[in-house]
A and B are shown apart, each in its own frame.
Chain A
C-alpha cells in the first residue's frame, strides 16, 4: 500500500520538476528572467516534496498512537473489562484474524464471538488511516505543486527561494543534534521521575542496599526491594580505577615514545596496530575477558592460594581466600577495560604532545637537557592540562562502558574495594534490569532509567570539564 503512494509521490515530484522547468522556459520568452529554468523546476519539486514529507512524518509519529486511541474508543464492554495485558493479547489476536491468520489463543464465549467483529473493525480502522494518510499526502503534494506553478514568472527569484529551503533543510539537520539531546533528557527524566515517586532520590543516591526484586505476592517479605545505588557506584568506580591503572601509564608512555623517540618507520607500523586495538568491538573484549583473562587470573590466584595454604602460618587465611577467588572478579573486567582504553589515551595524548611547540623542546635541548629530562620537566608540565583532560575523557568512557562489564563482571552488588571480589556496575544493572521480563510500571524496570540518568549526567559533567580543560590549554599556544 505504502509503496503505491510513494510511487505516486515520486512521479508527482518528477513531473513537477520537468513541468516547472518547461513552464519557466515558456513564460520567460521575451522577458529577462531572474532565475534559470532548472531552478524554477527545483522550486516546484520542493513545493511538492515538502508538504508530502511533512504529512508522512506526522503520520509516522502519530499513526500508531492514533490507531490505539481509535481502537480503544470503540471497544465493546466485554473487552474493555479485561485486564490490560489480556486486552492487548485480544487486540493482537484480532489483528491476526483481520490479516487472515489464525488466533494465537482460544477465547471464551463472549470474546470468541467478538473476535471476528473486532477484527473487521480493526481492519477498517487500519484501512481508513492508511488511505486517509496516503490521500492527505498526495493532496498536500498537489496543492503545493499548484502553488509553485502559479509562482513561475520571469521575475520570481526562484534561485534565492530554493537556496532558502536548502539553508533551512541543512539547519534542521544540525538541529537534530539538539533534538537528540532533548530526547535523551526527556526520556530519561520522564521515567526517572516516575521512579523517584516510588523511591526517594535520597534513598537512591545514598542507600547502601541494592536488590531490585519485584514482589510475586504483595505481602512478601522484602517485597519492595532495595534501591540504594551506592554499591553500584562503588563497583563502577573500582573497575574504572583498575582500568585507569592499566590504561594511563601504558597509554601515556607509548604516546611519549611514539611522539618523541620513535622514527617514522616505527610510527607507521605501531599507529595502525593501535588503531586496530581501538577498533575492536567491545563485545569482543567482553568475550576475551570472560573466557581468557578471567579463567587465567582465577587459576593464577587459586594456585598462589593453594601454595600459601600449604606453607601455612600467618598466610593461611589469605591462601584460603585466594583459593576461592572467582572468574568474575573486578580485576578481570578492569584489566580488559584498561586494555581497551590504551589506544584511546595514547592517541589523545599523542595529539596533545604534538601540539606543544617545537621551540620548547629546542630550548630545553640547548640547555643540555637529555630527551627524557625534556619530556619530564618541559613537555609534561606544558601538556599537563591536556593530558588531564584526555584522562578524564577516558574515565568517562570507562564508566559508560557496558559490554565488558556485562560479560565479565558479576551481578552481586557488593560494597567493597577489593579488586578480587565480584562487584557490579551501573551499566550492568541497566542491562540486567531491561533485558529480562519487564513489567513496565514496576520500580524495578524504572530504576534502570534512574541509573541511566545518573550515568548520563556523570559522563556529561566529565566531558564538559575535560573539553574545557583541553580548550583553555589549546588557546595558550594558538
Chain B
C-alpha cells in the first residue's frame, strides 16, 4: 500500500521531464537572444567605427575651410624698395617694423622683436606687395593697406588650436606674439573668411598658401587617361569572354587570370609601373600618363567582372530573337545586347573609376610623393594627385597641415560620393528587371 500507483509515478516523471524541457527551452531561448545581441553588437560596432571615422575627419578638417586675414597699412618707403626689381625688396620686414613703430614698440639690437612680428604675416605679403608695385609704380611713397593671410601658427592660435595655457617653449607662437594678435583683433584689422586659397592654389610649403587645386587637376588628368584606356579595353574583354569566347583552355586561362588580377595588391601594380613604364619605356616620372596607365591596368579586372555581370543580366531571349531574324553574332551583340546592358556597364565603369581615384599605393611608387607646386596642365609633366597629396600633407611637420589633410580628405570623399551617387542614379533610372 505504500507503493505509489503507476499513475502517480508517471505523473511525477512527466512533471520532471516537462520541467527539464521548460528549463532547457528557457536556456535555449536565452541563448537565442544572446546570439541575436551578438549580431546587433557587431553591426553597431561597424556603424560606430564608420561614425567615428567620419566625425573625426570633419572635426579635424572643418577648421581648414576658414582662415584669418590681417589688413596692415604699409608705407611704401622709396628708400627701401627697388622700383625696377620689386621682388627683391623685403616687404615683410618693412611691414613688421612699421607695425611696431605704430604701436611704439622698440626693436632690440638683434632684430628679434621685428622677427617675431614678421612671423605673424604670411610670406604672401611679399608677393602681394611686389605685385602691386610692379603693376602700379605710383604707390611708392604712399601708404597702402595690404590684406594678407596670417601665418599658419597665428591662424591656428586664433582658431583655438594652440592653447595659451601650454608653456611658451612648447608652442610655436610666444606670449609676445599672442599679445600682439589680441591687440590686432581688438583694433579690428583681423578678419576671418572662407579659405578660398585651399581651392584655388596648388601645393605650397607654406600651409596658409597650400591648396588642393593642383592635386585635383592632376587626379582628373590621370582619371581621364585611365578611363580612355580601361573602359574600352575592359568592355571589349568582357564582351569577348561573355559572348564570343569558345569553351577551351585559353579561355579558361584568361578567366582565371582576370580573377587573380582583381586580387593582386595595388602596390604590385606600382612596381609594374615603375619597372615597365618608367625604367623600361622611359615615360616621365610622376606624370598623369604613367599614373593613368597603372590605374587602368589595376581597374581593368574589376571593370571586366562588372561588365560581364551586366551582359549576363540580359536574357538569352533577346539574343535568340536577333539571331532568328538573321542578324550575325556581332550585330546581335552590338545592336541589341550591349545597348541593353549599357546602364550596368556605365555603373560598373563609374564605380571602378571612383575606386581608382582613391588608390594611393601605386602612385607613391611611380614618384608622386614629391612636392609639385602650381597647377598642372599637361599629361607628361610631373603632377600631384589628391590621395598622394593627403599622404604628403599627413607627413608634413607643420601642424597647420593636419587640418588641411583632413580638408583634402573631405574633398576626396566628396568627389567619390558624387561619382557613386551618379552610379546609383544611373542604376535606379535605367536598370531593367527582366
A interface residues with partner B (beta carbon < 8 Å)? 61, 64-65, 68, 159, 162-163, 166-167, 169-178, 180-181, 183-184, 187-188, 190-191, 249-254, 256-258, 261, 270, 273-274, 276-277, 279-288, 290-292, 339, 342-343, 346, 370-373, 375-376, 393, 396-397, 399-403, 406-407, 427, 430-431, 434-435, 440, 448-449, 452, 455-456, 459-460, 463-464, 467
B420 x A279 contact (CB < 8 A): yes
Contact of B325 with A by CB under 8 A: no
With A284-B57, A370-B32 given, name 4 new contacts (CB 8 A): A170-B239, A178-B254, A279-B416, A452-B268
B272 x A183 contact (CB < 8 A): yes
CA separation between A38 and B223, bound complex, in Å?
A: 34
Residue numbers in A under 8 Å from B263 (CB-CB): 393, 396-397, 459, 463
Residues A170 and B236 in contact in the complex (CB < 8 Å), given A256-B39, A431-B364, A435-B369: yes
Contact of B260 with A by CB under 8 A: yes
Residue numbers in A under 8 Å from B79 (CB-CB): none
A184 x B240 contact (CB < 8 A): no
Residues A177 and B358 in contact in the complex (CB < 8 Å), given A277-B49, A281-B416: no
Per-position binary interface string of chain B over residues 122-146, scored 1 when its CB falls under 8 Å from any chain A CB and 0 otherwise? 0000000000000000000000000
Task: Pick the 7 closest A-B CB pairs, nearest first.
Answer: A400-B265, A257-B39, A281-B358, A173-B236, A187-B275, A253-B42, A372-B35
Per-position binary interface string of chain B over residues 226-257, scored 1 when its CB falls under 8 Å from any chain A CB and 0 otherwise? 00000011111101110011000000011001
Query: Which of B36, B268, B280, B391 meets A188, CB within 8 Å?
Result: B268
Residue numbers in A under 8 Å from B406 (CB-CB): 287
66-91 of chain B: CB within 8 A of chain A: none
B28 x A184 contact (CB < 8 A): no
Residue numbers in B under 8 Å from A253 (CB-CB): 38-39, 41-43
A254 x B39 contact (CB < 8 A): yes
Query: Which of B40, B267, B357, B409 meets A430, CB within 8 Å?
Result: B267
B391 x A403 contact (CB < 8 A): yes
User: Which of the listed residues A180, A181, A277, A292 has the most CB atoms from chain B within 10 Å of its own CB?
Assistant: A180
A167 x B330 contact (CB < 8 A): yes
B260 x A342 contact (CB < 8 A): no
User: Which of the listed residues B32, B46, B261, B369 has the most CB atoms from chain A within 10 Å of its own CB?
Assistant: B46
B46 x A281 contact (CB < 8 A): no
8 contacts between A and B (CB under 8 A): A270-B47, A281-B359, A287-B390, A287-B406, A339-B49, A372-B34, A431-B267, A459-B264
Contact of B118 with A by CB under 8 A: no
Residue numbers in A under 8 Å from B46 (CB-CB): 250, 254, 273-274, 277, 339, 342-343, 346
CB of B233, distance to nearest CB on chain A (Å): 5
CA separation between A171 and B245, bound complex, in Å?
A: 8
A284 x B268 contact (CB < 8 A): no
Residue numbers in B under 8 Å from A188 (CB-CB): 268, 271-272, 275
Residue numbers in A under 8 Å from B268 (CB-CB): 184, 188, 400, 452, 455-456, 459
CB of B183, distance to nearest CB on chain A (Å): 33
B interface residues with partner A (beta carbon < 8 Å)? 28-29, 31-32, 34-36, 38-43, 45-47, 49-50, 52-53, 56-57, 60, 232-237, 239-241, 244-245, 253-254, 257-261, 263-269, 271-272, 274-276, 279-283, 297, 300-301, 304, 328-330, 354-355, 357-361, 364-365, 369, 387, 390-391, 394, 402, 405-406, 409, 412-413, 416, 420
Residue numbers in B under 8 Å from A290 (CB-CB): 394
Query: Which of A162, A256, A282, A288 meets B56, CB within 8 Å?
Result: A288
B29 x A370 contact (CB < 8 A): yes
B237 x A174 contact (CB < 8 A): yes
Query: Which of B43, B57, B241 meets A254, CB within 8 Å?
Result: B43
Chain B at the A interface: mostly helix, strand, loop or mixed? helix
B387 x A467 contact (CB < 8 A): no
Residue numbers in B under 8 Å from A187 (CB-CB): 271-272, 275-276, 280
CB of B172, distance to nearest CB on chain A (Å): 18
Query: Which of A167, A257, A406, A434 meets B40, CB within 8 Å?
Result: A257
A181 x B260 contact (CB < 8 A): yes
B260 x A460 contact (CB < 8 A): yes
A287 x B394 contact (CB < 8 A): yes
B42 x A257 contact (CB < 8 A): yes
CB of B94, distance to nearest CB on chain A (Å): 32
Residue numbers in A under 8 Å from B244 (CB-CB): 167, 170-171
Identify the closest chain B residue to A292 (Cβ).
B56
Identify the closest chain A residue to B262 (Cβ).
A463
Residues A280 and B267 in contact in the complex (CB < 8 Å), given A170-B240, A254-B43: no
B236 x A467 contact (CB < 8 A): no
Residue numbers in B under 8 Å from A178 (CB-CB): 253-254, 257
Residues A177 and B237 in contact in the complex (CB < 8 Å), given A166-B330, A370-B28, A435-B369: yes
Residue numbers in B under 8 Å from A343 (CB-CB): 46
CB of A272, distance to nearest CB on chain B (Å): 9
Residue numbers in A under 8 Å from B53 (CB-CB): 277, 280, 284-285, 288, 339
Identify the closest chain B residue to A393 (Cβ).
B263
CB of B56, distance to nearest CB on chain A (Å): 5
B390 x A177 contact (CB < 8 A): no
B265 x A455 contact (CB < 8 A): yes
CB of A347, distance to nearest CB on chain B (Å): 12
CB of B215, distance to nearest CB on chain A (Å): 12
CB of A194, distance to nearest CB on chain B (Å): 11
A174 x B236 contact (CB < 8 A): yes
A449 x B266 contact (CB < 8 A): no
A174 x B240 contact (CB < 8 A): yes
B57 x A407 contact (CB < 8 A): no
CA separation between A170 and B333, bound complex, in Å?
A: 12
